[in-house]
Chains A and B, each alone.
Chain A
Amino acid sequence: MADKTFQLKFDRNLCESCATYDCLTRCQYMEIDVETAGKEIRKLINGEDSSVLHNCVTCYACEEYCKKGNHPFYLITDLQEKKGILPAPKPIVKQWVNLAIPTKKDIPHFYGAQEPVISLCLFPEYVKTIQGKLFEGVSIVLGRHFFCQLVYLHFGKPSLIRERLPKIIENIANHGFKEVIFFHDECYSTFTSYANAYGIDVPFRPVHFFEYLYNRLKELKGEIRPLNLKIAYQRNCSTRLTPEKEHYLDKIFDLIGVERVERKYDRENALCCGGIIRSLQKYDLFVDVQRRNVEDMVKAKAEYCVFNCPACYSSLAERVTKAGIKPIMLHELCKLALAGRENYEG
């Protein structure tokens, strides 16, 4: 029912006239030359089976590689579902589907939350980190009724997003929020890129966490103590859907005095944290991707690895720690700059 209502805004002419097929040729996990890419793209736009549907690791990067904004990744996931191609084993998919079933009632606790309000998605363990000067006067909301559902792009179940998302949007709107700051990049990208691609109305302004941090840090500029650290940044998958806000990140790093090290696997060439690759049961690839990524950080002499996604942190933190690099969430790094390294207790 949802699929009939919300159709992907996809222009096949844009693909047919494409000369480079960057969406596939730049893929870091499938070896595809231009000629093969052309053939596979034609299969995809005709709704036919393609090796891409079976080998995609769902890193989202092709959304960014396509400079025409034609949503190749959304097309891939829709086709995976249509053809019953599950990227992950059925029980894993089932657990994820169960994870975020919106319960019957919203959590009344959050009524009364006032703007500025940060949605913590389904990460209650981060509540205690949203405190201090950086978050003065900020309310928190979280839970199933704020969960964006975008994760189902990884599991061949995109229709579930479109089925559940309108209710989630309605719930958030019922709180009367004009703006919601999204802690998790994935939520922000859902309410911007994904909703827009499928014509789903969002009656509030999604604000990216980066934007909030940058603006708040500017207000507190006089209190910042430059960290003078070399950091490696770990992009998460959904940042590929909304690269337009990435500029905030460099501005934040400038404000807090850290150097984002130049390395091979950064920016558009970033590697997946490996978490989803493991969930898709591609163990050898998971090990290889994490190894290359961390070696790259070490080679670039990064002292910290900065994350903006809790799931990436979970997946990669242990490995970077073993390599002698300290893992840290972006907002904790910002708090570190405000508190001074000697006073930081994060």
Chain B
Amino acid sequence: MKDEIYKALVEIVGEEFVSNRKEELYIYSRDSGLSDPSFPDFVVMPKTVEEVQKIVQLANREKIPLVPAGASLTLSGLTIPQRGGIVLDMRRMDRILELNRRGRYIVIEAGVTQGKLQSFLEENCPDLCHSLPEAPPSATVVGNLLIHGQGNLTQPYGFNSSMVTGLEVVLPTGQICRIGSCSLSPYWFSIEPLPYLAGLFLGWFGTTGIVTKLGLKLFPKKKLRDVELFVLEDPNLLVEAIYRITHTEMAEDVTTIAQPYPLMFRGTIMIGIYITGDTEEELEFKRKIIWESLGEIIKAKEGGFMALMPEMKKGLLEKPMSSLTRTADILKGGGFVYCGAIIPIEKFPDALRKLVEIAERNGITYAHSGRVIGRGHCMMFAFAFPFNRGDPESMKKAKKALHESYAATLEIGGVPWKPGAEEQKMILEKMDRGTVELIGKIKALLDPNGIMNPGNWEVRL
């Protein structure tokens, strides 16, 4: 049977782009996180939507699990094929199809990487940019949107997934459909005002269909960019400080950092405030407004702006920040996992307390980084733990701490971001029963044979 499937896949995409060789399947059996590995039977790299359609039809007919994957960088095992089957590596579909400069949107295929899009925009329209996540340049743009990723423009404009202007999707039955203005017009400018069908595919981890094309909002890119770090000790004051900073509407990005290393940072919390401008005057105006907004906290000596050494500033301004890899490698051995908790900002003090408790309880170190989403509507709070891949004990401790962080997120009223299969179960257990049933019904309707990324958002009706 496997031979027949292999031949059928070769028929669709050509021999060069199908593999059932152990050494190649190995790569797709794991990600950089701590999830247990699980091998697929095949990996296939389609080039066109028609090829995707044929693969889906084959899988649906033969009831073979199908796992769509970008660069597989979620760290939570979302593209690990838990029940074998076919991994659909989308990275050959990497064309940038349309740039509408005046309409500030771009249409791309699912395999376009963050690095490719960033370079394309810098070269072709340096006054526009997309919301770039703190992910390696090899991460795919569509992958980030499908897991409700965040980026440097998340503070003014919300989750990156709210920047989608159109979708082309191959449904689990093989039907191709378009969502948004592109379903009735040649222009991919908006999802609204039609029924909000994009919600059927964003945040579902590939369990409801395969996105092959996507329209994405672009935003003005200012010529100058700078960063300030505001330092506090009291986590309760951070909530107030972020409220004041976001009220000014002067910041492009607002991030948070709390970590015990380097020693200098221990016991303090930092808010990264990014400002942009087309002129020095614009930049200085924004800087001054932000300084003034925090005047009372400064006057009370409870917080202040840190003097940034050039190297540190350079690192903070890098897009994406490669310095994060050094933080991740603090224990050496290159391991790093995190639970990204989406929480109300007022829960920051609770989350930080939990993070420190979890780290202490498990005898490991931690690093927190976070990002404000919307004008303070919520934030991503990362419970992050470095570990040493060469030390099984270190991995075990990090895994336990990670699990406890997911539990803590739910306990304080937050929602875990891009949870792995085990953590999805924790979420579904706590979730309103009506909502769980709705998830189950939608999945059953779209994917009647249950082939799409099985093990994820799994509901028994």
Contact = CB atoms under 8 A, between A and B. Distances in A.
Which has the most chain B C-beta neighbours within 10 Å: A91, A279, A315? Answer: A91
A281 B304 contact: yes
Interface stretch (B26-34, B157-165, B263-271, B361-369): B263-271
Contacts of B263: 98-99, 101
A91 B305 contact: no
Which has the most chain A C-beta neighbours within 10 Å: B280, B298, B303, B307? Answer: B307
B303 A91 contact: yes
A111 interface: no
B311 A89 contact: no
Contacts of A318: 310
Given A94-B267, A283-B288, A89 B298 contact: yes
Contact of A317 (B267, B298, B310, B311): B310
A86 B302 CA distance: 11
Given A89-B301, A95-B306, A125 B231 contact: no
A275 interface: yes
Nearest to B312: A314
A99 B267 CA distance: 12
A90 interface: yes
Nearest to B226: A318
How many A residues touch the partner, as a band?
20 to 34
A92 interface: yes
B305 to A, nearest CB: 7
Interface in B301-350: 301-307, 309-311
B411 interface: no
Contact of B232 (A91, A96, A279, A314): A91
Nearest to B297: A89
A281 B305 CA distance: 7
B307 A275 contact: yes
Contacts of B291: 283
Interface in B102-140: none
Given A275-B307, A283-B288, A315-B307, A91 B264 contact: no
A21 to B, nearest CB: 29
Contacts of A267: none
A71 B361 CA distance: 50
Nearest to B292: A283
A89 B302 contact: yes
Nearest to B308: A314
A125 B301 contact: no
B140 to A, nearest CB: 36
Contacts of B278: none
B233 interface: yes
A278 interface: yes
B306 A92 contact: yes
A99 to B, nearest CB: 5
A76 interface: no
Given A91-B231, A283-B291, A278 B305 contact: yes
A98 B267 contact: yes
Contacts of B266: 98
Interface in A96-111: 96, 98-99, 101
B446 to A, nearest CB: 51
B303 A89 contact: yes
B233 A279 contact: no
Nearest to A96: B264
Given A89-B298, A94-B268, A279-B307, 5 more contacts: A92-B304, A95-B268, A95-B306, A98-B265, A315-B307
Interface of B: 231-233, 263-269, 280, 288, 291, 298, 301-307, 309-311
Give the 9 A-B residue pairs with the shortest CB-CB distance, closest first.
A89-B304, A91-B231, A92-B304, A99-B264, A89-B301, A91-B233, A281-B298, A98-B264, A281-B304
9 contacts: A89-B301, A91-B269, A94-B268, A96-B264, A279-B305, A281-B298, A281-B304, A315-B307, A322-B280
